[in-house]
Amino acid sequence: MGQKGTATRARILTATQELVETGGYFGAGLNRVVAVSGAPRGSLYFHFPDGKDQLVAESIRQAGQATGAAFEGLAESSTSVAEFAEGVLLHLGDRLEESGWHKGCPVATVALEMAGSSDTLQQACSEVYTSWTTALRAQLEGRRDADDLAVTILALIEGALLLAKAHRSREPLDRVTRQLATLLR
In SS3 terms, 56-112 reads as HHHHHHHHHHHHHHHHHHHHHHCCCHHHHHHHHHHHHHHHHHHCCCCCCCCCHHHHH
- Give residue-wise pLDDT tens across range 29-40: 999 999 999 999
pLDDT band at 182 (very low <50, low <70, confident <90, very high): very high
pLDDT tops 80 at residue 3 = no
Q: Count up the domains in the chain and report the number.
A: 1
Q: Is 17 left (phi over 0), alpha (psi -120 to 50) or beta?
A: alpha
Distances (CA, A) of 85 to 10, 139, 156: 30, 9, 10
What's the mean per-residue pLDDT of the chain? 93
pLDDT band at 104 (very low <50, low <70, confident <90, very high): confident
- Give residue-wise pLDDT tens across range 59-84: 999 999 999 999 899 989 998 888 99
Residue % of the chain over a pLDDT of 70? 99
Residue 115, domain member (yes or no): yes
Q: Provide the sign of the torsion angle of the four alpha carbons 22, 28, 31, 34, taken in this order.
A: positive
Residues 185, 181: Cα–Cα separation, whole Å: 6
Residues 55, 145: Cα–Cα separation, whole Å: 37
Residue 133, domain member (yes or no): yes
AA letter at 118:
S
| Structural domain harbouring 154 | 56-183
The CATH number of residue 119's host domain is 1.10.357.10
Closest Cα partner for 17 from 41, 33, 35?
33
pLDDT score, position 1 = 61
Residue 111, domain member (yes or no): yes
